Structures are given as C-alpha cells and as structure tokens.
Chains A and B, each alone.
Chain A
C-alpha cells in the first residue's frame, strides 16, 4: 500500500541551529501534504498545508519564517525549523493524500538543547 516516509525519526540539535525534516510519498504522488505538531500527551495541531509548486498555507499562529516549508516535487515536502529554540522541541508529523486516503509519516522527535 501507499507509504509516507518521514526522516529523520529523531534529531537533537543545539539552540540556534536549523533542522530539516523530510516527508516523502512512496509509490504515489502527493500534490498536498500536511505538517502537524504534537506536544507530549496532547493532540496533533495542524501547522501548515504544503502545496506542490506553490507557497504553503499556514495555520493561524504559526510563524512561516520560523517553519519553512518547501514542496518542490510531487513526492517530497520538507519542513525546516530555523534558529531552533528549546520551545520548538516537539513531535512533528507529516501526512499526504493519495486518491483514497490520508497517510501519515512515522513522525520526527525534535529535541533542542
């Protein structure tokens, strides 16, 4: 079946550095991908909708200059957390649409020291 591959699964970085998370659709093309953030013991909050070939649509309260999204091809969307700070530490999950369903990646645990 259709799979969404998210990489890396875990990353630890120093405060002030940037981190890139990749989300790839395997065996299908995804014109739309979604990025979510999840704090411990909490639900998923939609951050942005990533559209292939155009600018991402950010949810209210999400800093687009902080969370850069690039969807340059039909199978890859990237989320870059720029100048990361400890408060950016969280679990980030992407999802992608195939014609029948939404498929989630396995998530990335970001820890900023």
Chain B
C-alpha cells in the first residue's frame, strides 16, 4: 500500500521569504511522487514530479523538491514566496510499478502569504 503524510496542515510565510512544505511517503515499491497546487474552486496543477531520475526535481514557478529515499521524504521548497503562491498544496504518490496511475493524495497544506 502507498500513502503520503503532509506534516503541516497550514503554513504561513511573509512575501519574499522561503517556503517549505513537508511530505513523507510510504510505498512498497519504487514510487513516483508529485506535488500539485490547487487554487480555490479550481482543478489541480502539477508543480513537479519525481520518477526515479534526478533526486532534485525542479518544477514550475520556482518550486523544487528533493527525493530522499533514506528519509522517505519529498519536501517542496521555494526560495522566495509570492502572493500568488497562496493556495492548497498536495503531495501525491503513485506506485511506479503498476500502469494504472492510481494516485494517493496527502491531506494537503494550506499556504498563506503575508504582505
């Protein structure tokens, strides 16, 4: 079975300061890991994904994440937060050995950005 745990339900940062969203995963096999962002009443947008290539993954809008197998973590970071980064963020895991692309979502982290 696969699952993810997002360690923070809410993160509040000042504009221009770094953002860190923490995610730990559990997977029986080689996982694929994703970070998605959701703005209010909108669908999901893929920020980045890890699929067993480079452990440091760069995504859109200045976000990046590092896959650490020894820590079973896939934390999301951004050096400088922007007001438009205020949204809900989901860490997602998929079992890379199957072909059904069934995704398991974390509970989500709400990011607020203070001016």
B-contacting residues of A (Cβ < 8 Å)? Answer: 6, 32, 34, 41-46, 49, 91, 93, 95, 97, 101-102, 104-107, 109
Contacts and interface: CB of A to CB of B under 8 A. Distances in A.
Interface residues on B, range: 20 to 34
Interface of B: 36, 41-46, 49, 90, 94, 100-108, 110
Nearest to A9: B41
**Across the A-B interface, the 5 shortest Cβ-Cβ residue pairs:** A106-B43, A104-B44, A43-B105, A44-B105, A104-B43
A109 B41 contact: yes
Contacts of B44: 44, 93, 104
Contact of B41 (A44, A49, A104, A107): A107
Contacts of A49: 100, 102
Does more than half of chain B's interface fall in helix, strand or loop, or is it mixed?
Answer: strand
Contacts of A91: 41
A53 to B, nearest CB: 16
Given A49-B100, A97-B101, A102-B101, 11 more contacts: A32-B101, A42-B108, A43-B90, A44-B44, A91-B41, A93-B44, A101-B49, A102-B94, A105-B43, A107-B43, A109-B41
